[in-house]
């Protein structure tokens, strides 16, 4: 099987899963929370094990505390996946807001360049998106249950289309490079 066909199949599979995830965003959001919980448990356990080999009392204590926090969060996400989903979605909104603020600050350092306006607009849109989603969430918290699933579904669709376009490019690349 040629490489371009593999990329095409992977892209189509990603598109199919993206559509599936968008059709059941709450289920996908809870699945993301469960996977996050498992990963936090693994990371917390490894952090605690590694913490015993760290030199220095302060570093050892900090490492053990961080491991315990990760274990607690992982256990909490697995024990209460709906509340964990709300927590993760809230963190995503905070990250949208923080990323937007950071890009706006960065844009003023780019003033006078061609990158000023795109960076400023990008930051403003992130802040507006976070505010828009937060206004829905404050009126109806169930909206947050769908947020992670919708974002995952959109990302899978974009990824799938990107892979399909890359497959078509790879298929036609020898022809296009000969012409160039």
Cα distance between residue 104 and residue 2, in whole Å:
45
Q: Is residue 177 part of a domain?
A: no
Sequence-separated (6 or more) residues with CB below 8 Å from residue 44: 67, 68, 69, 70, 71, 72, 73, 74
Structure tokens given for 67: 């491991």
Q: Is residue 178 part of a domain?
A: no
Q: Which of 39, 60, 22, 16 is nearest to 164 (CA)?
A: 16
Q: Decide if 17 contacts 156 (C-beta within 8 A).
A: yes
Determine the structural domain holding residue 74 and report its residue range: 3-172
- Give the tens place of pLDDT for each residue, 75-131: 999 999 999 999 999 999 999 999 999 999 999 999 999 999 999 999 999 999 999
- Provide the number of structural domains found in the chain: 1
- Give the tens place of pLDDT for each residue, 27-84: 999 999 999 999 999 999 999 999 999 899 999 999 999 999 999 999 999 999 999 9
Q: Is residue 32 part of a domain?
A: yes
- Measured on CA atoms in the order 35, 41, 46, 47, is the torsion positive or negative? positive
Q: Is residue 148 part of a domain?
A: yes
Structure tokens given for 154: 């959109």
Q: Is residue 118 part of a domain?
A: yes
Q: Is residue 71 part of a domain?
A: yes
pLDDT at 8 over 60: yes
- The pLDDT assigned to 173 comes to 76
pLDDT at 16 over 60: yes
Structure tokens given for 36: 């996050």
Q: Is residue 66 part of a domain?
A: yes
- Give the tens place of pLDDT for each residue, 132-179: 989 988 888 888 899 999 999 999 999 999 999 999 998 887 665 555
Helix (H, G, I), strand (E, B) or coil at 80: coil
Average pLDDT over residues 10-29: 96
Sequence-separated (6 or more) residues with CB below 8 Å from residue 119: 103, 104, 106, 107, 110
Q: Is residue 179 part of a domain?
A: no
């Amino acid at each position: 099987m040629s490489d371009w066909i593999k990329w095409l199949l992977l892209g189509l599979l990603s598109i199919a899963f993206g559509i599936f995830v968008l059709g059941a965003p709450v289920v996908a959001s809870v699945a993301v929370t469960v996977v996050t919980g498992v990963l936090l448990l693994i990371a917390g356990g490894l952090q605690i094990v590694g913490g015993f080999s760290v030199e220095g009392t302060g570093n050892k204590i900090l490492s053990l505390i961080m491991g315990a926090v990760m274990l607690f969060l992982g256990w909490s996400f697995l024990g209460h996946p709906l509340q964990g989903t709300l927590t993760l979605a809230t963190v995503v909104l905070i990250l949208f807001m923080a990323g937007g603020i950071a890009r706006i600050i960065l844009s003023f350092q780019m003033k006078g360049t061609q990158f000023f306006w795109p960076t400023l607009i990008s930051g403003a849109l992130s802040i507006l998106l976070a505010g828009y989603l937060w206004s829905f969430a404050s009126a109806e918290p169930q909206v947050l249950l769908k947020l992670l699933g919708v974002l995952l579904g959109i990302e899978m669709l974009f990824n799938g289309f990107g892979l399909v376009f890359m497959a078509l490019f790879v298929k036609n690349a020898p022809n296009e490079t000969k012409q160039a």
